[in-house]
Amino acid sequence: MTAATHAPAALEVPRHHAFGRFCRAYAKRPAGLAGLGLLVAFGVLALVAPLFIGDDQLNVIKVDGPQLSPPVDGYPLGTDQAGRSVLLLVIWGARESLSIGIIATALTVVLGSAVGLLAGHYQGRIGQSLMHVTDWFIALPSLPLAISLSAVLGQGAASITIAIAVTSWTATARLVRAQTLAVEARPFIERAKVLGAGNTQIMIRHVLPNVMPLILVSSTLTVASAILSEATLTFLGLGDPTSVTWGSMLQAAFAGGAVTAGAWWYLLPPGIAILIVVLGFTLVGRAVEHVLNPRMVGR
């Protein structure tokens, strides 16, 4: 019985060797390393932000800077309508924007993997109907669906997160289903079945570990689109109006007339921050894809 659960190890190279080989192959991709560097830099900045940014610099009532001023001494990126430093806002915004992106991705991945695993494992009526549901969701336009969902759920980070997850799980589900079918065709699954492993055991202990690397790759790309979606939904006014995210900065700039005032210093930084983080996740995702799938080389 116990032998069955460890069956895959007998067929494959030990996992830590594979991981070392993966790291060496990844290190040869400059674009992937650059993406990783960008992400690490932003991650560190977001984590240490509370050490040097306090409520006095973020609270609209407590700040005393010049209002909507271009870059001057002490405010290297200028200020917003309330006199807050745009630089500090962008750094603070990284916390919320990244966490919404990552939490939404986690939800997406859990939902998508569950549907994909079930659809791949139960290939009869259950699997087919699950795939039908997936196809229907693919046919729905994601932005209007997300807008509708968060409009009904009410303003706030939670409803935006849910809306992103509900509209983006389909890609993961399809991927996981395809991979589940491939894994279940391998002999060790047959062996586990013969030895009496149940459906849950096969899915969780045998299929999931083999599908996991693929899920992780696809999730780096999902984070990129989740961050873009967060910015878009917040810009449309669906976010929490009191929190500072890159999307809410742009929304405040737009609603507060920064565009007509020509306040480019207020508009550029949040957008460039989004660009850098999305590009970072995309580059990392593509590099990992290249390493794991040699057929992609040259593209």
CB 281 within 8 A of CB 34: no
Window contacting another protein (CB under 8 A); options: 91-99, 108-116, 119-127, 265-273: 265-273
Nearer to another protein, 183 or 238 (CB): 238
Window contacting another protein (CB under 8 A); options: 43-51, 75-83, 202-210, 258-266: 258-266
Q: Exactly one of 278, 284, 288, 291 binds another protein (CB under 8 A); which one? A: 278
Residue type for position 45: L
Per DSSP, the three-state class of 153 is: helix
For residue 187, the Cα-to-chain-centroid distance in whole angstroms is: 34
For residue 143, state whether it binds another protein (rule: CB under 8 A): yes
For residue 90, state whether it binds another protein (rule: CB under 8 A): no
User: In the bound complex, what is the minimum distance in angstroms from residue 228's beta carbon to another protein?
Assistant: 6
User: In the bound complex, what is the minimum distance in angstroms from residue 210's beta carbon to another protein?
Assistant: 27
Window contacting another protein (CB under 8 A); options: 18-26, 84-92, 119-127, 132-140: 132-140
For residue 118, state whether it binds another protein (rule: CB under 8 A): no
Contacts 24+ apart (CB under 8 A), 44-49: 45/91, 45/94, 46/91, 46/94, 46/95, 46/98, 49/91, 49/92, 49/94, 49/95
Span 153-192, contacts to another protein by CB under 8 A: 153
C-alpha–C-alpha distance, residues 36 and 73, integer Å: 32
Q: How many residues bind another protein (CB under 8 A)?
A: 44
**Position of tokens 């849950």?**
200
For residue 299, state whether it binds another protein (rule: CB under 8 A): yes
User: Closest Cα to residue 218, out of 135, 292, 131, 125?
Assistant: 292
C-alpha–C-alpha distance, residues 136 and 232, integer Å: 23
Binding site for another protein (CB under 8 A): 135-136, 139-145, 147-149, 151-153, 224, 228, 231-232, 235-238, 247, 250, 253-254, 259-264, 267-268, 270-271, 274-275, 278-279, 282, 298-299
